[in-house]
Amino acid sequence: MKTKHRHATRFLLLLPAMLLLAACEETSNSANPLDRPHDPNAEIIITNIGPENGGIGTKIIVSGSNFGNDPAKVKLYFNSKEAFVIKVQDNAIYALVPKQPGDFSTIRVVIDGRESILPDRQFQYFIKSSVTTIAGQQGVSTSIDGPALEATMGRPSMLAVNDEGLLFVSDDGGMRLRLISIADRKVTTLIEGMNGPWQCAFTPDYQRFYVLERNVGPRPLLFYELNKGSNWMEQTSFWDQTDASGNYIAGRLGYAGLAVDEEYVYLMSLAGSKLVRVHQETKKVELIGENFPLPNWNHLCYNPKDGMLYISAESFGRIYRVDPRLTPPGHDTPWITFNDLEHILGGGRGVPREGNGTYAQFGSLEQLCFDAEGNMYVVDFQNHVVWKIDPEMNATVIAGNGTSGYADGNPKESMFTIPYGLTCTPDGILYVGEAGENRLVRCVSIQ
């Protein structure tokens, strides 16, 4: 099912841009004395910004002089976050406020390597946040397609979203792969009769999608591929292969972890007994690690920002990372041991404790994901909350009040019941699948 719509957040950002651009063009249709190039020998001066507060996508005008008339040459920053510049004339820059630059932002303009800062004032950023239900009926555990809030979910356990607002759901209870079109607000079934559909992921370019069957019954079947070229309607099966001794490489094990980079699909078996990679083009299956003393359930995620593979160890309440291409001396292909895993987050399972790195304390962890800025998010089903971990490893609870239940609204006052699935758009809009009694897919938007 191919959609012509982008994610709702991008549309909301672009709509004011189009309206602002139309207003700007009224001036440009007649001779404009301010339509002149930047003078590299003159000073860049910023005198004002209006409005002086707002949230993501707020239309702003930066006033001053010697900005030129080429938007491609003008960089506008709110602290370290770059704004989207719509139009420039010599005395004004028309732009949209970027996402979460900080509570107060210093305004900086850079043109051809020269910069100027707005003196004596800052822009105040207002966060817009909410938790909303986007699919399913609370407490109903059937698997029926239809309008999103009339459809039902057997057990929406694992999720993946692409850059066009298509949300794929591994409905473990319904034994099927579901598709939620966020723009059309509809739920449809893509694959039926699956044996434990579980972790799923897109390639970083969103051209391919993979979904794992975790149960041992279908072996040597490993996972399915769907691709954008067929509008996600055709599936390709990937199968296990045998080694030189005639033994299956993945073997008759249950697999819970799946992650995808630009070239490979990575699988981790229950209890960490095997780490396998499968080439997306050749379908070659390789064992690249084994005998990790990890808990039974472990989930994987690839972070394109650093090229590392991240592992959430459920009952340990810990997160590890490793280089999936680590090839030690004496090996021709990657070979990873438990000693190669870096323990980066979580001091052991318990009640939520915000903090940095291993000082932070999580409960039981399930699916994790990354946004385009490298922020990590993970669901804690024991404590019924959603965590955010920034690139400096500071962990904070961003949604859920720590008790089981159902409540939309303010993220810190919202309630979840056993959140298992989690995915996010590049700009940080989160989708949560509840494997507990709610049987819902929820959206967490903090902008």
What average pLDDT does the segment 291-306 reach?
Answer: 95
If one compares 117 and 100, the residue with the highest pLDDT of the two is 117
Q: What DSSP state is assigned to residue 22?
A: H
Rounded to two decimals, the pTM is 0.86
User: Percent of the chain having pLDDT more than 70?
Assistant: 93
Instruction: Point out which residues pair with 8 in neighbouring strands.
Output: none
For 366-417, write each residue's pLDDT tens digit: 999 999 999 999 999 999 999 999 999 999 999 999 999 999 999 999 999 9
For 137-174, write each residue's pLDDT tens digit: 999 999 999 999 999 999 999 999 999 999 999 999 99
In sequence order, the 6+-apart residues with CB closer than 8 A to the CB of 12 are 57
What 114-122 contacts at long range (C-beta under 8 Å, 24+ apart), as own/partner pairs, is 114/40, 114/44, 115/44, 116/43, 116/44, 116/45, 116/46, 116/64, 117/46, 118/46, 118/47, 118/48, 118/49, 118/62, 119/46, 121/49, 121/52
Does the structure show a pLDDT above 90 at 46? yes
pLDDT at 431: 98
**Averaged confidence pLDDT in the chain:** 92
pLDDT at 4: 37
What average pLDDT does the segment 354-362 reach?
Answer: 98
Alpha-carbon distance of 178 to 189, in angstroms, equals 4
E strands in 16-139: 45-50, 53-54, 59-65, 74-78, 81-82, 84-89, 92-96, 104-105, 107-111, 114-117, 123-125, 129-135
pLDDT at 352: 96
When pLDDT is cut at 50, 70 and 90, the band that residue 193 belongs to is very high
Does the structure show a pLDDT above 60 at 7? no
For 323-349, write each residue's pLDDT tens digit: 999 999 999 999 999 999 999 999 999
Does the structure show a pLDDT above 50 at 217? yes
pLDDT at 30: 56
